[in-house]
């Protein structure tokens, strides 16, 4: 069905394009904010800021408990359950995030976790910020499941503009990591209010008096249970993205962390285009697979993999050629040590994007356990190789460890058949046939 597949690809690319604009503007504004923070706080202050934000990122994913992915997949299949699923997710996240907020607000805990004396207050505020982050991610998940990427774009863009404008003003008045975290918290509160208003306006209409039979599926406890595989995946994936930075902090200190953070930030910019497709690809794959998987989902995965790899190759070449220019023009010559790790991370884009596409396909088709097994291997490789390489080569060693880990995982995916594009099983083909007849 070439015509149907073409229409499906066009719809997916249209949503991906909206998310690309969202991520592009968001990354651009966030990038400018990082430059401002790095220059106004200095190298050591920026290193402490990067460490605190990495800690918040990891804790946010833990508090998220995999619920965002469950919301996207389940609402994409049944939009009528949007309100009940959203309410359940907010209750669950408020409970988990609230507990973390109380824990991080304790003085001894904050002092232990802070990378420096000037960032203790930032750690104490971190729990509030991460709780707001998790709740806002539920609204984003609903909008993505509805295909309303324009709403995601509007909220994120407004938040990033406010974040950039405010952080410059705040740091000019009070140059501290705590002031930055406090401002980010204010912005998240505003995004939460906007998300609620737009959800109420965009919620799919129901017939008067109609009730959605959920059979107890949409309680907070039930949603958390269904989300546990995604929670594990989120924690593993987040640690993969941040274990290198924590190793650099432990072995080399805040100054080297600052340089490596610049390399990571520019690496994210290089991968902006292909990474923007994933948020649109996941609900599309989930809807195509349904509960049991389908040949349609397999075909969509194959096309997406080829497209993402082509984009990743272009980005990798760009990083190799222009790493020195990118670092010098954006963050300045002070951060020149970021050039070498940036080149290595640019090459890593190719296996990384292939692995992310395959992992997403496994999640969308209900094979979370298999995907999580590969995530455990990836994290173990990054941590084990990272400790050896960082000790010897510093920030460049962390980048080499990441490249080695992603390459090994890609080879394992290929050798075990996880990347093979074929109709999954007879049950899946029967599901497709029923859809065609129905």
Give pLDDT tens digits for 397-423: 999 999 999 999 999 999 988 887 654
* Number of Cβ atoms within 10 Å of the Cβ of 310: 12
Interval 220-274: pLDDT, tens? 888 888 887 777 777 777 788 788 988 998 898 888 988 999 999 899 889 887 8
pLDDT at 303: 86
Mean pLDDT for the stretch of residues 55-77: 82
Label residue 63 by pLDDT band (50, 70, 90): confident
Q: Tokens at residue 265, please?
A: 């930030």
Give the start-end residues of each E strand in 241-306.
Answer: none
- 68 or 291, higher pLDDT: 68
**Closest Cα to residue 378, out of 361, 360, 397, 356?**
356
* CA gap 29, 44 in Å, rounded: 22
* CA gap 260, 38 in Å, rounded: 12
* CA gap 190, 161 in Å, rounded: 12
* CA gap 372, 363 in Å, rounded: 9
Interval 96-108: pLDDT, tens? 888 889 999 999 9
Backbone Cα Rg of the chain: 22
Contact 272, 26 (CB under 8 A): no
Cα–Cα separations (whole angstroms), residue 365 to 146, 148, 209, 336: 19, 22, 34, 44
What sign has the CA pseudo-torsion 325, 331, 332, 336? Answer: negative
Longest CA–CA separation in the chain, Å: 67
**Closest Cα to residue 162, out of 151, 170, 152, 150?**
170
Domain boundaries, the chain: 2-199+221-425
Spacing of C-alpha 392 from chain mean position: 30
Label residue 188 by pLDDT band (50, 70, 90): very high
* CA gap 33, 355 in Å, rounded: 30
Q: Tokens at residue 208, please?
A: 């008067």
Mean pLDDT for the stretch of residues 50-58: 87
% of the chain residues with pLDDT over 70: 85
Label residue 432 by pLDDT band (50, 70, 90): very low
Q: Tokens at residue 267, please?
A: 């690496």
Spacing of C-alpha 110 from chain mean position: 25
């Amino acid at each position: 069905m070439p015509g149907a597949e073409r229409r499906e690809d066009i719809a997916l690319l249209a949503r991906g394009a909206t998310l690309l604009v969202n991520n592009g503007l968001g990354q651009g504004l966030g990038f400018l904010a990082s430059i401002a923070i790095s220059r106004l706080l200095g190298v050591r202050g920026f290193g402490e800021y990067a460490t605190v934000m990495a800690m918040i990122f990891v804790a946010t994913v833990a508090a998220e408990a995999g619920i965002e992915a469950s919301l996207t997949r389940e609402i994409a299949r049944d939009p009528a359950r949007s309100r009940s699923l959203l309410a359940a997710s907010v209750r669950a996240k408020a409970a988990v995030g609230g507990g973390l907020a109380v824990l991080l607000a304790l003085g001894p805990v904050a002092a232990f976790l802070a990378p420096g004396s000037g960032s203790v207050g930032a750690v104490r505020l971190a729990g509030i910020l991460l709780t707001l982050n998790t709740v806002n991610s539920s609204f984003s998940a609903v909008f993505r499941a509805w295909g309303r990427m324009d709403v995601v774009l509007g909220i994120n863009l407004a938040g990033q503009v406010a974040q950039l404008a405010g952080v410059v003003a705040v740091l000019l008045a009070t140059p501290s990591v705590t002031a930055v975290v406090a401002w980010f918290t204010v912005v998240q509160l505003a995004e939460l209010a906007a998300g609620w208003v737009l959800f109420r306006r965009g919620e799919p209409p129901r017939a008067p008096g109609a009730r959605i039979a959920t059979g107890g599926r949409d309680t907070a406890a039930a949603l958390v249970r269904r989300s546990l595989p995604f929670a594990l995946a989120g924690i593993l994936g987040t640690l993969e993205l941040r274990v290198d930075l924590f190793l650099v902090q432990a072995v080399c200190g805040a100054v080297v962390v600052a340089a490596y953070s610049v390399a990571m930030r520019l690496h994210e910019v290089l991968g902006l285009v292909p990474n923007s497709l994933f948020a649109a690809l996941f609900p599309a794959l989930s809807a195509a697979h349904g509960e049991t998987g389908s040949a349609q989902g397999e075909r969509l995965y194959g096309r997406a993999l080829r497209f993402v790899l082509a984009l990743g190759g272009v980005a990798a070449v760009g990083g190799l050629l222009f790493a020195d220019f990118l670092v010098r023009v954006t963050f300045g010559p002070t951060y020149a040590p970021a050039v070498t790790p940036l080149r290595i991370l640019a090459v890593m884009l190719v296996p990384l994007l292939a692995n992310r596409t395959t992992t997403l396909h496994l999640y969308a088709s209900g094979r979370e356990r298999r995907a999580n097994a590969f995530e455990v291997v990836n994290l173990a490789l990054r941590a084990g190789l990272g400790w050896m390489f960082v000790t010897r080569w510093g920030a460049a060693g962390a980048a080499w460890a990441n490249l080695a880990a992603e390459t090994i995982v890609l080879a394992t995916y290929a050798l075990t058949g996880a990347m093979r594009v074929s109709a999954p099983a007879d049950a899946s083909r029967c599901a497709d046939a029923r859809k065609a007849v129905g």
